[in-house]
Chain A
């Protein structure tokens, strides 16, 4: 099973049935797999904070949500993470493409990469970093942990994990 299939099958096994996405080249395959799965309602968002609002509503409606996004958008989601997801104590797995790491062809991406972990740490968001293919084995446990603690939890996935673009 490739990592995209494994991620989507773990989402489904953990009852995650509402996923919002903003695309990234690295996330192309996993977004396609999300779109294709009949057990998941896939709702592309125009901006990541909008997506987090959709997820908050879906959670209150009884569904387990998740967001798939790029690390460059963390800045625009800070207010939403703090005043909605965390303030109201809602779970939110955030599968994030960690652009600007080893293998990055676009210099500008590195500018956000150097702030990514510091911002997540400042927000007290539990953060996991998938660098090697086998790191995906933890994904199931991370989802269980997220819905146990009712917090946003970040999974950073870098270019080495995705084996390039």
Chain B
């Protein structure tokens, strides 16, 4: 299973929640599969999806799902201690771990080699860390949302991409539409 197949199966599970989509293909794929006003699309700023999502979850009560990637978490590895030490139970961080920098052409990441992001997250103090296959991920996200416990899910999938159009919606429009959905 590759990321885009996983996101297709995940879409109905997260449809009613606030979703922060990582830069590049995760945003473009979610935009293509199920564009919603409850989705925030990152158009730049590699690495900060988990931080944006944490700030959002701490600031209000609705549940927040972050669709992040292994490469982006490695870029902003300091995010995991911050998450661990600022627990908010409306926060689910899904790290789609395909062992590669998908959006730049599938160059390998260290997460696909010796480094386990699951173990890193645990070592940073995150209390509910689940590692699962892509096929088991929608159920894991559903359980995390139902469980009311801050959860980090590391979803092991294969690397590989499908063709998707870039997002042309204006960033201020993305943000404004999303903020209306947060308030609704």
| Chain A residues near B (Cβ < 8 Å) | 18, 41, 43-47, 49-63, 65, 79-80, 82-84, 87-90
Contact = CB atoms under 8 A, between A and B. Distances in A.
Contact of A57 (B54, B76, B81, B172): B54
Given A60-B178, A61-B60, A89-B172, A84 B55 contact: no
A80 B55 CA distance: 15
Interface string B23-60: 00000000000000000101111011111111111111
A43 B86 contact: yes
A142 to B, nearest CB: 22
Nearest to A57: B55
B59 A63 contact: yes
Nearest to A45: B82
B58 A18 contact: yes
Contacts of A53: 45, 47-52, 55, 76
Which of A55, A82, A88 has the most B CB atoms < 10 Å from its CB?
Answer: A88
Contacts of B129: none
B171 A87 contact: yes
Q: What 7 A-B pairs come out closest when comparing CB atoms?
A: A57-B55, A61-B59, A83-B44, A46-B78, A53-B51, A53-B48, A57-B56
A80 B54 CA distance: 16
B58 A61 contact: yes
Contacts of B82: 43-46, 50, 54
B74 interface: no
Interface string B76-116: 10110110001000000000000000000000000000000
A44 B42 CA distance: 23
Nearest to A82: B44
A56 B43 contact: no
